[in-house]
Structure 1
């Protein structure tokens, strides 16, 4: 028999083997019995799987057959009364343990399970092998007042990024507003977050000012799950990027408000830089230990002074501790820079621009451990505009004009993981996505909005107790 090479070193015959399968004669009654048995087993499995439907149905049928329909109506009214009383007495526990579990089971059956296989195939998440089709397994559905969290067991060879790229198509397939994919602690699972109602549609009011700011969790706004969003400033720098009227001021003033208690007690010093002539930050002058605006040369001088303070503090802490702890004598220094690109890219004076870049590079690379932090905002996140953007561990992306800018700010693949900053509507200023150092998925947040009156009241109520207008240094 002739042979042919298929894989080097392996020989297989060319002609197929002639095999004749044996024929078995099965009686018709045996086939009927087998079909009935298989049907009973499948019905039993479905009855156990959907016990939350079959158990109440069987109980209602038994009560009706044993006691009649008046007793059945009475039982239904009694259960409805108990649920209503639970809802009136403690609505939070009723929603968590009573209502949302029922909604989740119903949506799993009616919304997701019904068309799961076809949606997986059309979105490119199903596969075929050896003539068989394989579909990712739907494990669980959890609901809250804003959306659904669907847990899925991925097929071998899939990663969460595959689901992140298909999340938007999945949301439209299930007739929902928005979808994102997040990894879990188990490598074979992914959680799909579908939004039914936007929790960030309304403006967030100014949050209470903490007496002592918690640098590990400064309250700045609300997350999409309704919880309070807290930003970790300790050991971090913050970059804020967004188009015009995207709400960068909301982020800056929310951060300043959360630090105002420390400003009044002397634990925090705010150094403000406003290249737009002070239009954005001038209302908070009573809060600032340094306020530089209009003149780039003076701004470069204040930055160089911050570098000097940083080096002096590093010399004091050398061999004592590796992390600065704010005190009244050695407060935390926070440099707030509005429109950073005006200092790093748009200056015509090359010498001043180089001084500013050198000072910012030193502060970003060496300032975190000694308690000198930079909070910077800009509109254009390109590398030639901000060459040291990778030195910001915490990055916030508000509404952006182009999809490519999302990955520039939040890192490669951030948009595929759900940070669709280019689709944030102009009617929602202050809405953005936050990328934390070491956290894979961006977090959607709406920052609190402070009006001009709120800012003036903040400056009046939380100015340093030992400070006066005549004693404040203003660099102009």
Structure 2
């Protein structure tokens, strides 16, 4: 009897202090048994059953049998995870994935789980992801990643509400915008992305018009950095010059003819030979409004230069290996001409806590009205929590792992030897002599024009 009491007390303490350990030791087995036992009754209570087929009803009527029971969606498998359970369900004829997504809240109550989401994996099959505890309360990124998770320009940024890892993949989503009010955690996400990119062979370029207070401490890993609007305009135009030179290299190496294999024909840098392939560039803009606002005629001309260069980079930069990460509190038409054109080129959309609905509509108005509402419901005590929308209309809640400025600085200093020197941006190379000598950087050869 004493042993049972100790086990129950230990389970209670684990559930209170370490919910992840409680789930792996006690919760996962109990939840799997509960789902298997309650499955039929829960499907019936949540209106996820369909009537018996007409053939069975006819046979029952001819033979005088009782009316056949409602048909249940078939439970294909139950897969335990480190944060919850995943169910594979085969839908009955007449059902669709929306029936299950609309019933997720009812399923959460019926199965006694913390969060339930669903998505259609293939025709006729849905995957129901359930979490046993609040995984976003204390974000713990998994040490082991799934197969294919690591790669050039693919970094783990945050944890999703269903327990999976959210990745920033620049090859699939080349440009992105991140919105959020002051204190919402944009800097946490930004530092996390830069920390992960620091270990890869990419060139980091920054624009921080707040006198460099956010990006200047990370300067050892940056190939170019602008800390005011005038320098930012020159830097963006220099990037456009680099982009045009890379296109000349791609065009020269195409050599399209009948005897050239299909695999050797390319329209971007990834098909170039290794010795000719330029290093990819990730451009981080800390506050986009500082580039768009102006008060004098001279500032207006500078603003037009910056916006035009940004639009050109967003439209043409992907093939040249130039990717954009833009951060800001608002990103609407009130910032002037060209902003909506630029926003249309930014495929990735992320919104932290916002103060008004119109700010979230700037990010998700053309994706999902539910994502707009979710962005306005983020709590103040959870910095780094955000809503991510996809062009398919899907969205999810995520929270970036807490990354302090010291951790980001340490990562950038550790990998300072990976910082390439870009000849077109050499005059924007940050001065880091105050903190000691930096390891010799690998100098990249300038693309040769045609």
Which TM-score band applies after superposition, normalised by the shorter structure? 0.5 to 0.7
Summarize deviations over 1:11-68 as a string: whole Å, max 9, x none: xxxxxxxxxxxxxxxxxxxxxxxxxxxxxxxxxxxxxxxxxxxxxxxxxxxxxxxxxx
Is 1:137 the equivalent of 2:59? no
**What's 1:380 paired with?**
330
Match of 2:304 among 354, 357, 372: 354
Summarize deviations over 1:120-156 as a string: whole Å, max 9, x none: 28xxx989999x9997834327354533444555566
Check the 8 A contact 2:194/2:408 in 1, yes or no: no
Check the 8 A contact 2:378/2:385 in 1, yes or no: yes
**What's 2:35 paired with?**
107
Is 1:473 the equivalent of 2:420? no
Q: Distance in 2 between matches of 1:369 and 1:467?
A: 19
Check the 8 A contact 1:272/1:337 in 2, yes or no: yes
Summarize deviations over 1:379-406 as a string: whole Å, max 9, x none: 2244555413231233333334456765
Check the 8 A contact 2:177/2:326 in 1, yes or no: yes
Summarize deviations over 1:277-300 as a string: whole Å, max 9, x none: 222212112222221123x23211
Residues 261 and 103 of structure 1: CA distance in aligned 2, closer, same or farther (over 3 Å): closer
Match of 2:135 among 199, 223, 235: 199
**What's 2:121 paired with?**
184
**What's 1:424 paired with?**
378
**What's 2:245 paired with?**
312
Q: Distance in 2 between matches of 1:467 and 1:313?
A: 16
Tell me whether 347-356 or 271-280 shows the greater mean CA deviation. Answer: 347-356
Match of 2:403 among 431, 446, 450: 450
Match of 1:249 among 175, 182, 187: 187
Where 1:251 maps in the other structure, the secondary structure is helix
Where 2:136 maps in the other structure, the secondary structure is coil
The alpha carbon displacement at 1:196 in A equals 2.7
Where 1:181 maps in the other structure, the secondary structure is strand
Residues 443 and 118 of structure 1: CA distance in aligned 2, closer, same or farther (over 3 Å): closer
Check the 8 A contact 2:360/2:372 in 1, yes or no: no
Where 1:428 maps in the other structure, the secondary structure is coil
Residues 133 and 373 of structure 1: CA distance in aligned 2, closer, same or farther (over 3 Å): farther
**What's 1:239 paired with?**
177
The alpha carbon displacement at 1:371 in A equals 0.8
Summarize deviations over 1:178-217 as a string: whole Å, max 9, x none: 332311202x343333333122321447989xxxx83252
Summarize deviations over 1:319-353 as a string: whole Å, max 9, x none: 52322148698322211001223323x33343332
Check the 8 A contact 1:199/1:224 in 2, yes or no: yes
Number of aligned residue pairs:
363
**What's 1:8 paired with?**
none
Check the 8 A contact 1:182/1:417 in 2, yes or no: no
Check the 8 A contact 2:281/2:321 in 1, yes or no: yes
The alpha carbon displacement at 1:370 in A equals 0.7
Match of 2:224 among 273, 290, 305: 290
Q: Distance in 1 between matches of 2:316 and 2:408?
A: 31
The answer to which structure, 1 or 2, has the higher relative contact order (CA under 8 A, 6+ apart) is 2
Q: Distance in 1 between matches of 2:127 and 2:141?
A: 31
- Structure 1 alignment gaps of length 5 or more: 1-94
Q: Distance in 1 between matches of 2:199 and 2:321?
A: 17
Instruction: Map 1:269-348 onto structure 2 (within 5 A).
Output: 269-294=203-228, 296-320=229-253, 321-325=266-270, 330-344=278-292, 346-348=293-295
Q: Distance in 1 between matches of 2:378 and 2:181?
A: 11
Q: Which of structures 1 and 2 has the bigger CA Rg? A: 1
Q: Distance in 2 between matches of 1:162 and 1:406?
A: 27
